[in-house]
Amino acid sequence: MTEIIIPPSNLLKGVDTINLSNLKKNKNWTPYLLIAPTVIYYIFFWLNPVITSIYSSFKGVDGSFTLQNYINVFTTTSFGEAFGNTAFIAGISIVIEFFIALALALLINKKFKGSAIFLFIAMVPMAIPAVGAAAIWKTGLTTYGWMNSLLYYLGFLEKGEKLLFLSGSKFSILWLIIIIDTWQVIPSMMIILLAGLQNLSKEAKEAGYIFGGNGLTVLRQITIPMLKPTIITAVILRLISAIQIWLIVVILFGFDRIPLLLERVIYYKEELSRLDNSYQIASTYAVITSIIVTIAAVVYLKVSGAFDISKKEVV
């Protein structure tokens, strides 16, 4: 007959305690292990360049510490022009893109027949790289480009008549840049807002209609307030990218015609590399642009009440 040996209960408790303790330790380390690759990536490919740029912006040609780079940047007329152009493009484009993206998101969210195809077509500009989009518009906006041909076949232009899209005034060129940028960026903002709309509670909107609200009232008093966190995310991401616009402008108009903050960085680094302090000036512009982006983001978050929302969630 087989003898069954039952371990003492206190021994089993000890084993359970050890296993639970090891399990808790592993759980405590798991989040850090998961984010470790991202942290390492940011240290080498983000933090290191940032520190290098800050250091270079305070370094003179002889390697000594100096503020002359910042003095040179702030006293040039191109900085004021670059700042004004960037602010104009960012401010106008964000407003236009938000309202169009919200309208498209609301329309697609109704899930009408063919909405999936409509969504696919609307997303096409986002899939085109910035260089590809610039090339498309570059070939289209020239004197014999496809835009003039399209306008002629639609009857808006007479035979031999041409519109000089790339030769207008500075103001008209800025609006042209805004239109092109809006065409490419609207899909990304739209998809963020659409995701937010699809996660909203249907019961809240239905309650609004039950209590006598019409579509506009429900949108203004229920949908938009509930969508506010998503709106803040979409706008803040767009604000950051709008301030950093430069590539499509350079491809269309070249350097120095429409100065922009980030365009100045590339201009001094690539076009004026023969200058002794070109790298230092480029680094200075990069630091100033980063500070402006940070200030703009914080101001928007403060004005939009995002900090208040975070406090309420914590409480």
The domain spans of the chain are 68-314
pLDDT of residue 23: 53
Architecture per CATH, domain 68-314, reads as Orthogonal Bundle (1.10)
* Residue 126 near residue 188, CB atoms below 8 Å: yes
Predicted TM-score of the model (pTM):
0.82
Rounded to whole angstroms, the Cα distance separating 59 from 276 reads: 12
* Residue 101 near residue 189, CB atoms below 8 Å: yes
∠ CA 261-76-167, rounded to 5°: 60
* Residue 168 near residue 176, CB atoms below 8 Å: yes
What is the chain's alpha carbon radius of gyration, rounded to the nearest angstrom?
28
pLDDT of residue 5: 53
pLDDT of residue 308: 66
* Token pair of 213 as six digits: 């609200």
Which phi and psi (to 5°) does residue 83 adopt?
-65, -45
Q: Which residues of 128-167 are buried (b: 16+ CB within 10 A; e: fewer)?
A: eeeeebbebbeeebeeebebbeeebeeeebeeeebbebbe
pLDDT of residue 12: 47
- Ranges of the chain whose pLDDT falls below 70: 1-27, 307-315
> What is the three-class DSSP state of 213?
coil
